[in-house]
């Protein structure tokens, strides 16, 4: 079972349907017991970083997500959910994140269109990573005005080009994140989501 964390901000329906189309059970839940009993955990997110962290704290789900990561459960953050994995964000002020990955989230700066919206090709920074086994780089769908700057180069698994290299996939041990929406990103997005689910099926790390 894949638990999809329901903290009031997220593309819950589309993510759960994408997991179900892979032939797996998806459960949208805010229950600590269900989340910690799951084979894998997905943290979705749409909206502002500060609002998301406030909702997580008010429901106690910030502690549950950290507990899940510490227990070795495969954890995937999607879009805003990926940004929440980092230490802090500058979106509408400075906000503390979950701190599961070192780094910060900043706004795009430059004389170009923001938000970054549309299909961009992934560049696999670590092509031998198990997540990419058997896959070729392709296009995935982004919608975001802020992007993550990981402190550790080894946490950066894939980038996309939007006037600069943009963090697209991050990962360390059992914690990973995708800035784009895999459930809206065609065959490559589905394949990457399948890789995560297969990791979860392999048992907790």
129 as an active site residue: the answer is no
95 as an active site residue: the answer is no
Name the catalytic one among 95, 116, 147, 181: 181
- Report the helix count and the strand count for the chain, using DSSP H and E: 6, 13
What does the pLDDT look like over 124-141, one tens digit per residue?
999 999 899 899 999 999
79 as an active site residue: the answer is yes
What is the C-alpha to C-alpha distance for residues 172 and 99, in angstroms, rounded to an integer? 13
> Which residues have CB under 8 Å from 148's CB, separation 6+?
82, 83, 86, 103, 104, 105, 167, 170, 177, 179
27-38 burial: b if 16+ Cβ within 10 Å, else e: bbbeeeebbeeb
pLDDT > 80? residue 203: no
pLDDT > 60? residue 20: yes
Q: What is the mean pLDDT of residues 66-85?
A: 97
In the structure, what pLDDT confidence band is assigned to residue 204 with cuts at 50, 70 and 90? Answer: very low
Predicted TM-score (pTM) of this structure? 0.95
Mean pLDDT of the chain: 95
Name the catalytic one among 79, 91, 116, 147: 79
What CA–CA distances, in Å, run from 113 to 47, 77, 163, 171, 197?
Answer: 19, 25, 10, 28, 34
Strand partners, 150: 103
| Beta strand pairing call for 40-43 and 2-5 | parallel
What is the C-alpha to C-alpha distance for residues 62 and 97, in angstroms, rounded to an integer? 9
Give me the count of residues in the chain: 205
Name the catalytic one among 91, 95, 125, 183: 183
């Amino acid at each position: 079972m894949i638990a999809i964390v329901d903290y009031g901000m997220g593309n819950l329906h589309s993510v759960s349907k994408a997991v179900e189309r892979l032939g797996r059970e998806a459960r949208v839940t805010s229950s600590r017991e269900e989340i910690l009993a799951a084979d894998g955990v997905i943290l979705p997110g749409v909206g502002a970083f500060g609002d998301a962290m406030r909702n997580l704290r008010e429901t106690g789900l910030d502690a549950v997500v950290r507990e899940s990561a510490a227990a070795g459960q495969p954890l995937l953050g999607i879009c805003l959910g990926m940004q929440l994995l980092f230490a802090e964000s500058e979106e509408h002020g400075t906000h503390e994140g979950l701190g599961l990955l070192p780094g910060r989230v900043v706004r795009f700066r430059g004389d170009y269109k923001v938000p970054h919206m549309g299909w961009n090709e992934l560049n696999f920074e670590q092509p031998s990573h198990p997540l990419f086994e058997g896959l070729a780089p392709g296009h995935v769908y982004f919608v975001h005005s802020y992007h993550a700057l990981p402190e550790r180069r080894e946490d950066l698994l894939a980038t996309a080009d939007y006037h600069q290299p943009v963090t697209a996939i991050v990962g360390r041990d059992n914690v990973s994140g995708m800035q784009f929406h895999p459930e809206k990103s065609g065959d490559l997005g589905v394949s990457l989501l399948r890789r995560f689910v297969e990791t979860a099926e392999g048992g907790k790390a």
